[in-house]
């Protein structure tokens, strides 16, 4: 089940982040009772710090698995736009389950600088509850070769998630949705299509040690 939700901007104050995530968690629990798997929009949880993971893990209802949109840091400094799995039994990882193949150029992906999101280029489908799942995240939905990745891998379900803060005031969100629906029909593959209810910017740029990063 995909849940469209938006807890607002990601604040800089850690206590405010905890309060914001609490609102998000309560909203998801209210909208998805009895659901086995819940999918949330791109970057809805902000940065996936240890405390963030613990707060969600302690809140996920028993028997549910949440795939949460977040920005995930690797130990080598790389950053991923991803969906992260977490459940009440502790099934989670410091690595993303499903990563964006190609984040938005310039605003997110800028390889000429040391900071910024990394591109996965080729992202494998993953097995979730016995089904092969492929995530097509935001800007990727506009790229035919990303859809072909899902087609080649004979994916059972496609998760088309987004948070189109970068396209405010444009028709990009509608274009992404229509493009995703068209590819879903062409591939005859079930599609979970969701976004934040309100357009919001990405999380504040922080380094893995919690300090402000310079892009």
Whether residue 197 has pLDDT greater than 90:
no
How far does Cα 103 stand from its chain's mean position?
11
Q: Torsion angle of alpha carbons 170, 28, 85, 101, nearest 10°?
A: -10
Instruction: Please tell me what DSSP assigns to residue 151.
Output: H
179 contacts 141 by C-beta, under 8 angstroms: yes
Whether residue 208 has pLDDT greater than 60:
no
Mean per-residue pLDDT for 193-210?
Answer: 56
With both helix axes pointing from N to C terminus, report the angle between 144-152 and 172-187 in degrees, rounded to the nearest 10: 30
**What one-character-per-residue DSSP string does 25-58 give?**
HHHHHHH-TT-SEEE--TTTT-B--HHHHHHHHT
Residue 31 φ/ψ, nearest 5 degrees: -85, -20
Mean per-residue pLDDT for 196-215?
Answer: 48
The fold for domain 14-195 equals Nitrilase/N-carbamoyl-D-aminoacid amidohydrolase (3.60.110)
User: Quick one: which of 130, 78, 76 has its CA closest to 100?
Assistant: 78
On the 0-12 / 13-18 / 19+ scale of CB atoms within 10 A, 163 is buried
- The residue ranking higher by pLDDT, 107 or 125, is 125
The 10s digit of each residue's pLDDT in 24-51 is: 888 888 887 778 888 888 888 888 888 8
- The residue ranking higher by pLDDT, 96 or 35, is 35
Q: What is the pTM of this model?
A: 0.80
Q: What is the mean pLDDT of the chain?
A: 79
Question: What pLDDT, on the 0 to 100 scale, is given for residue 65?
Answer: 87
Among 49-53, 113-117, 162-166, 203-207, the least confident range: 203-207
Mean per-residue pLDDT for 150-176?
Answer: 85
- The residue ranking higher by pLDDT, 22 or 1, is 22
Domain boundaries, the chain: 14-195
Q: In angstroms, rounded to a whole number, what is the distance separating the alpha carbons of residues 99 and 96?
A: 6
Question: What pLDDT, on the 0 to 100 scale, is given for residue 128?
Answer: 82
H-helix segments, 77-200: 144-152, 172-187
């Amino acid at each position: 089940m995909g849940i469209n939700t938006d807890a607002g901007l990601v604040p800089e104050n850690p206590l405010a982040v905890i309060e914001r995530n609490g609102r998000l968690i309560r909203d998801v629990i209210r909208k998805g009772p009895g659901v086995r798997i819940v999918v949330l929009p791109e970057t809805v949880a902000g940065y996936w710090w240890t405390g963030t993971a613990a707060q969600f893990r302690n809140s996920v209802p028993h028997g549910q698995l949440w795939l949460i949109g977040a920005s995930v840091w690797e130990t080598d400094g790389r950053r991923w736009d991803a969906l992260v799995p977490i459940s009440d039994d502790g099934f989670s990882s410091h690595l993303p389950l499903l990563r964006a193949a190609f984040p938005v150029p310039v605003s997110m992906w800028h390889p000429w600088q040391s900071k910024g999101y990394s591109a996965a280029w080729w992202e494998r489908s993953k097995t979730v509850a016995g089904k092969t799942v492929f995530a097509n995240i935001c800007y990727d939905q506009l790229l035919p070769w990303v859809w072909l990745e899902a087609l080649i891998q004979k994916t059972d379900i496609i998760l088309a998630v987004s948070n189109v803060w970068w396209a405010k005031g444009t028709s990009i969100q509608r274009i992404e949705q229509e493009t995703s629906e068209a590819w879903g029909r062409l591939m005859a593959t079930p599609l979970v299509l969701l976004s934040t209810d309100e357009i919001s910017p990405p999380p504040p740029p922080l380094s893995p040690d919690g300090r402000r990063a310079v892009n």
